[in-house]
Amino acid sequence: MFVRCLLLFIFASENLKNRKLMKSFRDRAYIAFFLIGFVMLILGAGGLVSLGIVLKDWIPARGVVERIESERVYKYRKMRWKHRVDVRYETAEFGEMDTWKEVYVTIGMKEGDEIGLLYNPDYVREVRFPVHEGWLYGCFCAGGLGFLWIGNVLRKGKNK
C-alpha cells in the first residue's frame, strides 16, 4: 500500500511538471464521452424505433393497474430493484385479460390508475407500456446527446 502511494506521488508530481497527465486525460476523456454518448444514443433510438414498429402492428388499449410489487434482489455483487406490475385490460376477442410485466420504472404508476398499453393481437398477454417506455428511451437519447456535447466541449478544449 505504501509503495503504491509512493509511486502515485512520484508519477503525479512528475506529470504535473510536464502537464502530460492533464493532456492525456483530456485525450482519453473526450473519446470516452463520445463512445458513451454514442452508445446511449443508439440504445435510445433503437428503443424508440422498436416502439414505433410495435405501435403500428399492436392494438392499443386502456388498462387498470391492480398491483405493483417492488423488491430488492441481490444479483452478483449488486443490489437491484425488481418492479412487477399487474394490469387488467379489455381485448376485443377474449374479453377481459390480466397480465403482469416487469418494468424498469414505476414512476407515475399507482394501484388503481388507468394507463395506456399496447397488446399483441397474436399473443394477448404480451403487453408494452408506450408512454413509460417512450420516456425511458427518450431519457437515453437525451443523456447520449449530453455526453456527446460534453465530449465535443472537451475536444475543443484540447485544441486550444
* Domain-located, residue 145: no
The larger pLDDT score, comparing residue 121 to residue 13, is at 121
* Domain-located, residue 15: no
Number of domains within the chain: 1
* Domain-located, residue 68: yes
Phi, psi at 91, each rounded to 5°: -110, 160
- State pTM to two decimals: 0.71
* Domain-located, residue 45: no
* Domain-located, residue 155: no
pLDDT of the residue at 19: 53
Q: How many CA atoms lie within 13 A of 29 on its CB side?
A: 16
DSSP for residue 21 = H
Q: Domain span at residue 70?
A: 59-129
* Domain-located, residue 96: yes
Predicted confidence (pLDDT) per residue in 26-39, tens digit? 667 788 888 999 99
Predicted confidence (pLDDT) per residue in 96-124, tens digit? 888 888 887 777 788 888 988 899 888 88
Residue 84: name the closest of 98, 104, 64 by CA: 104
* Domain-located, residue 134: no
* Domain-located, residue 80: yes
